[in-house]
Amino acid sequence: MSATDAEMGTAGIGGTLIRDGAVLGPRGWWNPGYVYLEQGKVRAAGAGAPPPALAEAAGRVLSARGKTVLPGLINAHTHFSQVLMRGLAGGRPLVQWLKELIWPLQNALTPEEMHLAGLLGLVENLHCGVTHVVQHHKVVRGPAFTDAVCRAAQTVGLRMTLARSWADMGANPEPAEAILEDLRRLYRAWHRPGWLEIANGPISTWRCSERTMQATHALAGEYGAPTHVHVAESQDEVRMTLELFGRRPVHWLESIGVLDQRTQVVHAVWLEESEKELLAQRGATVVHCPVSNMVLGSGIAPAADLMRRGVRVLLGTDGPASNDTQDIWETLKAAVGLARVANLDPTLLPPAQALRLITDGRTVQEGASADIIIVNVRHARAVPVHDLDSALVLCTHGCDVETVIVDGRILMEDGRVLVLDEPALLEEAEAVLRHLRRRLGWE
């Protein structure tokens, strides 16, 4: 059967067969290879042409000739509220940038605008081949804001971790009980492991108290969910943590019992040796956001050093206010370049290893979730392709991702988003931004 048959209504009878592409299998590339998806799982994958029985059974066949077939990607840190703040990053250090631009705009958002920002952020991630996004959710002036983003994730169909941000010290602190109550509410209302995971999202080590950190980490632990926190992004943050608690950020997390396998340490730019060692010992995850760190002039995180010590490192674009895109491929290339230049070592992060930063080491294999993307490598930026890993890591942009499948469902095909009216969404975003700037007195 062909894609045309599927569009005419015969899809759904069998699974989806992707054939003739280069498939990232468990032991390297099958080129060509095939993948067969059914009931949310990879049912078969291998080298060469698909077995005739699979071709026969398929309700839908997608050709991936000249393309690569990969597991869906992970963007391990972003802030969708900042989708409406692109282009506001220039010329200020981190803390000043937050106080003068990001926080006022965040405080002006309505739940409807948050919903729109969520949709747009999710669609941008979808275009780049991200099938699981970690949304560090900052706008917590009421349940409507978190609910708006959860609804957006349901509409777009991506898997999302929503780390509910909070601060109980400094400017506009929330009472600890209100934070815990809202987290409990979110777990009851939205937590659906594998699809929409609610996580604990303390904003940073210098705005969160020891007791609330411990209580929220324990609450998330009841659901096996992570604590996702900004750590040592800038030197200012390290200084403020030292002034408040007498300890460097990672030492402080360790001292209060909040550093373990569920802890996701975002940024980790300014670490001492002993902090790197602790992260490795405790099995914490580090989320490296190299483009954001460059745009804000924060520094270069020791990502390659952490990986060498066995730390699980993932990549995040960070919010569009400090990037300004959510193109995880751009972030990947920046991670490779920064690791090499910071260490004056061109052998660091060879492409096959670097690719694991956005796949988390997953491959296309039988039994895996049917989260699959098709990425074109036959274009002027990549051809001729000597090496598929290099073509992906060094030549690919988000716009080269053509098809995205989550849980067996095609959300984007040949670059066309199927789950919503994208042109209308873009138009709405432009109109909303005009209103927002007027309300803030910026024009």
Binding site residues, Zn ion, CB under 5 A: 318
- Minimum Å gap between C-beta 244 and Zn ion is 20
Residue type, 4: T
Write the DSSP assignment of 32-77 as a string of letters. Answer: EEEEEEETTEEEEEEESSPPHHHHHH-SEEEE-TTEEEEEPEEEEE
Query: Between 216 and 234, whose beta carbon lies closer to Zn ion?
Result: 234
Asked whether 417 and 425 are in contact (CB, 8 A), the reply is no
- Minimum Å gap between C-beta 150 and Zn ion is 19
Query: Between 318 and 400, whose beta carbon lies closer to Zn ion?
Result: 318
Query: Between 38 and 318, whose beta carbon lies closer to Zn ion?
Result: 318
The dihedral over CA atoms of 251, 256, 260, 263, expressed in degrees to the nearest 10, equals -90
- Minimum Å gap between C-beta 138 and Zn ion is 8
Query: Between 318 and 330, whose beta carbon lies closer to Zn ion?
Result: 318
Spatial separation of the C-alpha atoms in residues 141 and 123, rounded to whole Å: 24
Query: Between 318 and 371, whose beta carbon lies closer to Zn ion?
Result: 318
Query: Between 43 and 136, whose beta carbon lies closer to Zn ion?
Result: 136
Residue type, 9: G
- Minimum Å gap between C-beta 79 and Zn ion is 6
Residue number with the smallest Cβ distance to Zn ion: 318
Spatial separation of the C-alpha atoms in residues 17 and 23, rounded to whole Å: 12
Using only C-alpha atoms, the chain has a radius of gyration, in whole angstroms, of 22
Strand partners, 406: 409
Spatial separation of the C-alpha atoms in residues 377 and 392, rounded to whole Å: 7
The three-class DSSP label of residue 353 is helix
Asked whether 417 and 401 are in contact (CB, 8 A), the reply is no
Query: Between 113 and 318, whose beta carbon lies closer to Zn ion?
Result: 318
Query: Between 20 and 318, whose beta carbon lies closer to Zn ion?
Result: 318
Burial bucket for residue 113 (CB in 10 Å: 0-12, 13-18, 19+): buried
Alpha helices in 233-317 (DSSP H): 235-245, 249-255, 273-282, 290-295, 303-308
- Minimum Å gap between C-beta 299 and Zn ion is 15
Residue type, 416: R
Asked whether 307 and 69 are in contact (CB, 8 A), the reply is no
Tokens of 215: 């209580």
